[in-house]
Structure 1
Amino acid sequence: MPILTLPSKAKINVDTLRHYPYSRTLTATQLISLHLLLHKPAPDCESDDAQFGPYISILPRDFGGHPLTWIVHRTLGVGSREEHSLLRLLPPCVLSDLVLLERRFWKDWQAVRVYLDDFPDRSPRHHRIRAQSELILDFVWAWLNVNTRCLYDDLGLDKDNNISLCPVFDFANHAWIQPTMQPLRVARSEISPGRARNADLVCVSCDKGISRDQEATLRYGGHPNRTLFVEYGFTNTITSGELMSGAYPGEVSVHDVVTSLLDSPGETGAFVERTLDTEGYWGDWTMHCSPLPAHASFRLITALRLYHSFPAVAGGRVQSEEEMTAASRDWRETILGFADEMSEENERACKESIGRICEELIERAERGIMDIKEEMRTSSEERYRKVLMTVELLWLEELTVGEAMLLIE
């Protein structure tokens, strides 16, 4: 049943911001971030935006607990000891994803900064004489409000522009299981040519409904804690039991470990990487504990099958391009679905590699958890300790998925 309806004109998106003369040259994230930056409230003040000011004024004012803030601080040469320690304590796969997020941020900043001189009398006031780092940190605030709060909204554009900031809706907390509501677009009978299809948004209760005084929650997506932490700055509070039982969809990226494994001497390693890249199987190698039994992703199995299709990998003999091409033909049969596996020997080698990967995951996760506990033991700052507990959950997920995988090997 409907809970509330948000009029299309109340959303902040490429349609409601189309008055910007260069709105078509910026992505939705860049355009909305620019608008928030120009109307960022001064300390203890409200936003001066005539249309969206009341909403902008109640957006979070501080993202000190978000990992993007820590890594941007590091890039700018500022930041606290605690922030630098937190970056050092992150699992490698989480830090890798965070670096990719930072690249997106700087790309958007470079696109937006070009237009700031067009608004000499707008917020951020006197930006020409402000320190560049201060202006960048204001943009961190704007960009994170967009990245953490926008909802997918089909405006009939490409996927990167189908987003909107939706007042009221975006204040719903995330629930990884049994959310109480979901947003739906209200159909429009007429769509103006060349215009975004900006429609009202209605919030409806989920199948189980919502009772009086119950919190209304959304599901941000079926993401592992790694993604939730990097993109939104929080994790689901889970236990090893929920991971082992398959109740929680635990996932670990093993890109760094597998990349090291595939880095064979001579031409073999280059051939493996080139072939995987050409066929679309380079990277995004993961292990999962749900659905049961725990399992490696098809992408990971595919990469290992190719690697172990060359007998010379173990013997150290350098193969010719013709030999490697011939050896990879059976591998392609598994990609196309003509064969379930290459050979018993190949499958056995893949399982052995997965076992070694899991052992490395477990070993480094145990070290990571020990480092977290030592940091907590020496710190009395409560906010810092809470973030450390969040990072510990990231290591717990990596540890438990590795252990679950070993149980089935």
Structure 2
Amino acid sequence: MRIQIPRGTQDILPGEVEKWQYIEQKARDLCKRYGYEEIRTPMFESTELFIRGVGDTTDIVQKEMYTFEDRGERSLTLRPEGTAPTVRAFVEKKLFGNPDQPTKLYYIGPMFRYERPQAGRMRQFYQFGIEALGSNDPSLDAEVIALAMELYRSLGLKKLRLVMNSLGDTESRKKHKEALINHFKPHIHEFCGDCQARLETNPLRILDCKKDRDHELMKTAPAVLDYLNDDSRHYFEQVQSYLRMMGIDFVVDATLVRGLDYYNHTAFEIMSEAEGFGAITTLSGGGRYNGLVQEIGGPETPGIGFALSIERLLLALEAEGITLPIDKHVDCYFVAHGEKAQAEATVLLYKLRQAGFSAEKDYLHKKMKAQFKAADRKHAKFTAILGEDEIEQGKISVKEMETGVQETVPLDEFISYLTKRLS
């Protein structure tokens, strides 16, 4: 029986993986400039972490988690998102005790959700995300949003739309929750089972329902912005003010609801407006979560972050016709004919790599013409040609592929010669 890849996963092969590496390096470089340090958490955690951290009324916890019991009868879950594991590490390793606060972290890695696979939405998908823990300063909200926007811009994306909302503090959310319950309750029997179950526990999630989004009551639902108290309203205005000063365009959308329970105050999404991108336009999202650290057992600590899907980022690049500047060149390709020439090429190949350059040669004993074709396919900058005659004369021919200029160089000077040329 032929074994096939599991549904909702993908093999990222050479030729494609270089795009991923390029994006990941861009993200790492950007985080260094912004003062964020990398954290790597386990790919599976205690199931309780996500129930408490993500929220037991969310689709992720109720429908999408890969949960299993290990041999010790412990319930474990493949991580469906990166914030809760990062906060768990922050609490468990007492990073809140470090003198330099806020603690600014980033992660890159695979996440797992059991959902219907479609373009840009896989069961194993890759996220880049950042978390800033330890400050209530609205300028930090603006910084997080700015970093997300700068990553997209640095990759060449232009057709972007930043959408923001405020969910308010605990007092504001309580008043809004009561208004939502009163609004939906008389007709809740017209909504799906999920919405009915969430009415009393988390009615905000009804606004994010995909099945009932066209229901008339959705259009007239109380807006959270109308229930913000003075402190929450002032906070949101400050975040907007910082973004304006940075020259970052945004749209305030009172209907924006993030899919996880831990958000409060600032919430945002970045969307692609590229033609042909698809019906689901969201590229990334995030917001503030001032109660999550306490929920996971830590001290009262505010936090904010965002996460983006690398798969969806690649789709956005494709939709805008952007080709990443991937360097596929090999510095030198050895074309060798004859047993002695092959042996000498093997040694020179090793020395050239030791000198810090990329180099390749033929391993299938192909004819010279086929080796030259291989050098072309590898986009070699130089081709080093060795035959029996060159070995006897103690020389090697070096051809610059772009110009076609060919020189003969003493074998013992080859490495220094090519080092100068490549430098």
TM-score > 0.5, shorter chain as reference: no
**Higher strand proportion, which one?**
2
TM, length-normalised to structure 2: 0.20
Larger radius of gyration: 2
TM, length-normalised to structure 1: 0.21
**Higher helix proportion, which one?**
1
